[in-house]
Structure 1
Amino acid sequence: MKSAILLLLLAVSLICLSQAKKPTAKESAGSRVRVAAGTLEGRTSQGIRVFLGVPFAAPPVGARRWQPPQPVQPWAGVRPATAFAARPMQLPLFGDMNFRSPAGSEDCLYLNVWTPATAAQERRPVLVYFYGGGFQAGDASEPRYDGEAMARRGIVAVTVNYRLGVFGFLAHPELTRESGRNASGNYGLLDQQAALRWVQQNISAFGGDPQQVTIAGESAGSMSVSGQMASPGSKGLFQRAIGESGSLLGSSLGLTPLAAAEQAGATFAAGVGATSLDALRALPAEQLLAAAGKPGAPRFGPILDGYFLPQAPPAIFAAGQQARVPLLLGWNSEEMNAGWLLGGQPLTPENYQQAVQKRFGDRAAAVLKLYPATTPAEAEQSATDLAGDLFIGYSTWKWAAAHQQTGGQPVYRYLYAQPRPAMVPAMGDATPGLAGGVLKADPSKPKPPAPRGAVHSAEIEYALGNLATNKVYAWTATDYLVSDLLQRYFANFIKTGNPNGAGLAPWPAAGGARPQQLRINASTRAEPAAQEARYQLLDELLNK
């Protein structure tokens, strides 16, 4: 009898163990998706299906280094999609970047999908987000870009890797000759374009609607969105666009012409001892990365290549040849600090006036009229405003104004003005960083004044619902309220092309000589844009 009972218990245990190891047919079907190249198996997080490290192009290695992205090779069986793939090759430039990817690699062309849909027939709107980092750093795995919160608002969220720096933007005469289209460089932007084509082909398998795609990004990601709007190769791949602080319009960005970029690439190749393109491609990726990071090396970024960008973006927009889609964009109230403008000099009215004189010459008086400095406090505010405008505010305004004139679609402008809260005590020796969080303070340099406004990239975690992933700041109930509000505006726009909705302050489309903008903070409201005269003056001065 005892033996029979033991055998029965053993049998029951084996059955339970078997059931614990094997998902039910329903669970397995829910975590598996068939895309054009094969079957993916993701995971589920509290009702949101997540697919990480999904290839959208072939690895750009070997002979494919500095080639446009090539199609994914199909795979047999089921490919796991439960972990982030490698991030693009990059140097540790920004101390605030927090990666969940395992390492850097040239084999980096992967994307991530968060979907609330349980069936392909649901046809949810889609958000495709491009990270910032000056085209030199960044990764789709960063927690601030996580797509789960947007997925909980009914949106299929996608984050995309693209090649950076020397791997993403090197131009070279031999590359131009072999291309068959008399162009080279801009491979990182072509990666984004390939990801958008992948979305068109495959997103319906995740319950997304390929006819309701919004592209979005911050800083270099925002510049990328403006570039995709200008590029003929992206026409029809998206229906709405969101830009957060940055565009490829505006001469302060200085898009390099192809010939100059080729010369810079040839000089770089000679500097690493590569006498041919084959020799350059044969060099280890780590050697190229190190050489590109040395003082005096070219800063590889978007160029006027004649292919991805057949003309300068301002000319494309002026001719109305950009993607004619609804556009939501804006910038922050303190995009750059006053010290950036003063070159490390103490902030006084006299030093500020001298910096303006040095930069603008005989037009300095006109600048000082709109950015005045009659008192120390006024000088600090004007220096902060002018630094932020020159850094990124003006170029974003230029994009808004150009699309408003020729795009034939509504433009919704914001000014984000919610300062971050205090840092948690453990981060007291850190200072705000350009890429979105903090950098450890350099004791050899004077500490910049504490920001009073919203610094560059401060809005990302608010807009995408990821405040809790940033442990640097002591978030308050007000921060979470602002985050909820901004997510709702973004989600409405992604779903309909209009950010307005029930329970939200009205957000009028920009229009007329004094456009309306939405000031986003603890008391969000629409207001006339007070900065127009400043940007019109900069437009005149920077485009002489």
Structure 2
Amino acid sequence: MHTKFYLIPLLLLVCFCSRVRAQEINFGFAVRTEVKNGTLEGDYSTRTGVQRYLGIPFAAPPVGDLRWRAPQPAGDWEGVRMAHEFGPRPVQEYIYDDMRFRSPSVSEDCLYLNVWTPAEARESGLPVLVYFYGGGFSAGAGDERRYDGERLAQEGVVVVTPNYRLNVFGFMAHPELSAETDYRGSGNYGLMDQAAAIHWVKENIAAFGGDPDKITIAGESAGSMSVSLQMVSPLSRDHLAGAVGQSGGAVNPERPLAPLSAGEAWGERFLDSSGYASIAELRQAPTRVIYETLNNRNVGRPPVVVDGHFITEDPALTFANGKQANVPLLVGWTSTERPWGQFPDTPDAYRKMLREQFPQHAEALTEYYPADAPTRSAIELASDTWIVLGTWNWADLHRLNSDQPVYRYRFDKIRPPLRGQSRDQEPPGAAHATDIEYFMNSLDVSDGYAWQDGDRKAAETMVRYLANFVKTGDPNGGELPQWPNLDDAEYPAVMILDAESKAEAFRAEPRYRYLTNMYDKARR
């Protein structure tokens, strides 16, 4: 009796998934294109007019002797390579419940990308968006349902979602690794993977109707930090036409990037914990040994470092000197980035928290985060110091040190609960990472939520803003609400993205200036 109870829903799910896949096949036919390494066969959807090429290798598998090395060029293949299925995603722990992958497995052999293109036969010159996933540099993949590029491609944009190496496989530095390089640095291999994907797009996107001179990069959370870093890296900054950041920037004065020495010290601890005597030996170790050392030996996670190659100096200094990619920037955050944790619920408890965490600034901070609303103020302060301040600073630095427009937003649309859950189980505002489905308008692909009319309206608005920005460097166009660019007013405008989007003066501006000065003084 119990077996039948559990088996029926499972069979229904299998039937549903099989039906969806069958519909995709029934409404498509095979298409081919030629890239530098050979011929690819993908799918053309007669429902949407979008071609899809999945699991394309953009670099050599980073395994064996290529583990912990910069990505190397992908090899050529004979005949026609099938590009109907996603490639393996990077090795990672199961961390985030809202990540829904479509790749078959995890593997160190993970450097694949996916392309969605609306190009008609012999069409060329389409703008391109390369999107980097989030996940704290510890999780994620380009095949995630939220990053599906089909709807944005219908707006006339070629969409690319690459994988990049994560955690210890993508970010371990070590003195032995530094000794191998001509720049005497190591780490940041996942960021170099991203740069390699940008270079692959530059060389190959014309085969999909894209313009290699119109590459905009985008990302959320760690992907957003990645965008800010690609803007300053000499490996990438000259190949970009635009940048989009969603919740995160690598110029947070509260958490500056680690020096190479800190990354190397972490690598030494990791090697000691692994039981191997050298990097040469560890390169030959099974994936499982490295994975279990990372997750079972209490070694923490490797930092992004100023390695002297991909990142040559503090990114804030690069921005301050105007050496970053001189391109239009669209950047913002959600209204409640960090709604989880234990927050004080009385003014006295809130003031006590401030005195403990910010002893020299406790009283001043109550001017910007009032004690008469203790829980809300504590959540806003936690959100700001964790994510918002770095994103705000990125926008401000680029506004001050480039001649390109900056468009800033705050995402306020509260995502509905997962089907079967109540609203009470959801955060009090728009939480971190809840804006992804709206920007990409992947609501129908991310079908675990009870989407309403307001969600669809917000998604249609946002995907058009994004498409306009990728095409022209300006999100405005058509009948969309006017989005002003960032200026030096006392309360410069911010675009509030919601079911009904609108621009308004950003009254919280002074608190970010206070936080920036507070952390800058502490670092001196």
4+ aligned runs moved over 6 Å, structure 1: none
Are 2:391 and 1:390 equivalent residues in the alignment?
no
Query: The residue matched to 1:269 in structure 2 has which SS?
Result: helix
Q: Which amino acid aligns with 2:346?
A: T
Are 2:241 and 1:239 equivalent residues in the alignment?
yes
In percent, how many aligned pairs have the same letter? Answer: 46
Summarize deviations over 1:479-535 as a string: whole Å, max 9, x none. Answer: 101110011111100100000011111111001143211111122111111121110
Equivalent residue, structure 1, for 2:221: 219
Equivalent residue, structure 1, for 2:43: 43
CA distance in 2, matches of 1:415, 1:456: 12
CA distance in 2, matches of 1:353, 1:27: 64
Query: The residue matched to 1:543 in structure 2 has which SS?
Result: helix
Equivalent residue, structure 1, for 2:370: 372
Native 8 Å contact 1:127 1:158 kept in 2? yes
Q: 1:429 to 1:241 in 2, by over 3 A?
A: closer
Equivalent residue, structure 1, for 2:499: 522
Shift of 1:271: 1.0
Query: The residue matched to 1:32 in structure 2 has which SS?
Result: strand
Unaligned runs of at least 5 residues, structure 1: 1-22, 432-449
Equivalent residue, structure 1, for 2:509: 532
Equivalent residue, structure 2, for 1:418: 413
Q: Which moved more, 1:481-490 or 1:301-310?
A: 301-310
Are 2:483 and 1:485 equivalent residues in the alignment?
no
Q: Matches of residues 461-476 of structure 1 in structure 2 within 5 Å?
A: 461-476=437-452
Native 8 Å contact 1:411 1:509 kept in 2? yes
CA distance in 2, matches of 1:345, 1:488: 37
Shift of 1:290: 1.6
Summarize deviations over 1:63-117 as a string: whole Å, max 9, x none. Answer: 0000000001101100000000000010111122111001100000000000010
CA distance in 1, matches of 2:116, 2:34: 15
Query: The residue matched to 1:398 in structure 2 has which SS?
Result: helix
Shift of 1:140: 0.5
Equivalent residue, structure 2, for 1:451: 427
Query: The residue matched to 2:72 in structure 1 has which SS?
Result: coil
Query: The residue matched to 2:414 in structure 1 has which SS?
Result: coil
Q: 1:172 to 1:353 in 2, by over 3 A?
A: same
Summarize deviations over 1:18-61 as a string: whole Å, max 9, x none. Answer: xxxxx9xx966xx1010000100011123211000000000000
Query: The residue matched to 1:362 in structure 2 has which SS?
Result: coil
RMSD, aligned CA? 1.7
CA distance in 2, matches of 1:120, 1:58: 30
Equivalent residue, structure 2, for 1:10: none
Native 8 Å contact 1:336 1:387 kept in 2? yes
Shift of 1:389: 0.4
Shift of 1:346: 5.0
Equivalent residue, structure 1, for 2:152: 150
Unaligned runs of at least 5 residues, structure 2: 1-24
Shift of 1:345: 5.7
Shift of 1:348: 2.3
Q: How many residues align?
A: 492
Summarize deviations over 1:203-251 as a string: whole Å, max 9, x none. Answer: 0000001111110000000000000001011132210000000011013
Q: Which amino acid aligns with 2:471?
A: K
Query: The residue matched to 1:267 in structure 2 has which SS?
Result: helix
Q: Matches of residues 17-32 of structure 1 in structure 2 within 5 Å?
A: 31-32=31-32
- Highest Rg: 1 or 2? 1
What TM-score results when the alignment is normalised by the length of structure 2?
0.91
CA distance in 1, matches of 2:64, 2:350: 51
Equivalent residue, structure 1, for 2:10: none
What TM-score results when the alignment is normalised by the length of structure 1?
0.88
